[in-house]
Structure 1
Amino acid sequence: MTDRARAHPRTAPATGRRPVDASMTLINEVMRRPLDPGYQEAADRRRAAGNPPLRMTTRAWLAVLAFGLGVVTVTAALDLRAPEPAVAEARELLQDQIAERATVADRFQDELEATQQQVSELQTAAIGGQDPELLARLAADGVAAGAVAVSGPGLRVTVQDSDAVVQRPDRASLDERVQDVDLQIVVNGLWAAGAEAVAINGHRLTAVTAVRSAGSAILVDLIPLSGPYVVDAIGDPNQLATRFARTSAGQHLALLRNTYGISSQIATEDSLELAGSSGTRLWSATAPGEAIPDDVASSGPTDGGDGP
């Protein structure tokens, strides 16, 4: 007898070892005894009592009945899965309304930017010849408040979800995605490094800008953003890069990269353009040289909001 024959589980002598197919007990039982023991016992009693087996017509009727029940069940399931016409019409109506409102919002945004440009030009024309220092101060305040567009050299920080999110978005964990707190840390690090103006994906940040999350989406002043997240900062590029690397934000980006696979890139730019924010709100204004009325001076914002 060869070694291969001795090693075969079915030819080797019984040694008390566990059979190879011991883990397949359930499958073996189904194959050897396909009929349930209770049904088998009932069939044996029927056969012992001399009762005849079921006739072919009875079996045929049972098959037809089973087929009919299956057809009814499948038809009901398909009817439940089919979308109702009213629901489909309501969805199409909502999609059309969303597209229409988005077009109107874009048109209003363009008109707002044009009006802001006209106001800036009129302000420059009215004050420039009389008080250049006041005009310069207004320009500096506009940059600090994020109300006016700025351009110049700066630093660009790009943060992107890990590769696992791209490859398996349904199974990726929240830690492998860029979160609102990550962008908050990056923005605060840029401000601490000396940035004069900051924007995320083109949205200008001000002193009252909120970076929050809603589910898996990141919102900047209630505007949803999608990755990759590009954070632009106006300022001296080399100085910003050096100071930013020394802040806790630089260490946080390294932690995200090494622990969760969230990639980040820091690049110096010769020219960046940041648009002005449309979220600034004017509470009150007076012409130069005019006294402020008592009722205006004693009253604050009327809509319950917080002023800058």
Structure 2
Amino acid sequence: MVEPQGATQGATQAPERPLPEHVTTPLLTLITARSMDEDYAHVAQKRAAAGDVRPRTVRPHWTSVMAVAALGVMTAVVAAQTDRQAPVDELSRAALIEQIDSRSDELQSLQAQVGDLTRSNAALASRNTTIQGQLDDIGSRVQRAELLSGFSVVNGPGVRITVDNGPDADVNSEIRDEDLATLVDGLWEAGAEAIAVNDQRLNALGGIRNTNRAIHVNGRPVNAPYVVSAIGDPRTLQARLLQTSQGQEWFALVNGLDFVYTPENVDDIRLPAAPERILRDVIELNADPDSGPDGEGSTP
């Protein structure tokens, strides 16, 4: 199809239409411009169309002014309080540091005292152990001394001998104190460790004495039959009694005066302690010889 020549020329000479603004405007500028509030742009366009081109002075609202003023006052108060509180805080900090130092010194002192007390306690414990050992040794020595001296209750195996006057005894054939003493001395010599006559324990401070016809042991009267109890080895005590000189003298009296003599071995004999006596003439080795028995000086 052949087009008219004039039409072709008109189409060629027609001017080109400009591109839209959003096409030619840089992207960043377009984004910034379009970010404006549409209502604000609309109001601006209306003012421009009405011929009101004077810039409108924006007056702050009175609440905003008061808020700003209050904020300023608060800021000033806080600043003033901060300035005023700074010396107090510094003093408090210094006082706290001083207290910490003081408490640290006290703690070190207390720790030193604890160390001293611990060492002292250990020394006292060691000393206590030593003293306790000495006390135990002294206790053992005292106990043995009481056993040897007769001032403690004892028990053990031994021999019990009952002696009495003969059936036809008279004043001249009765058992006397020296007769019982002969039997007791024979038992000591035979190996007896403790002896009592009618439950009267014999020791160095005791004795057997005659008062008229009555026999007194440790100062107390005893009556026939006389029971002589001796702790020792029951297997050998009677046999060894026959071998001693005092024992032979005793058995001569038994046969000559017709004494009743009944011995028996006993598995367990209990003997009481000897009665204590007041010492009147004996003093301690290091005591004042001029002092009396009660610790008082003698009267010149």
When normalised by structure 2's length, the TM-score is 0.49
* CA radius of gyration, larger in: 2
When normalised by structure 1's length, the TM-score is 0.48
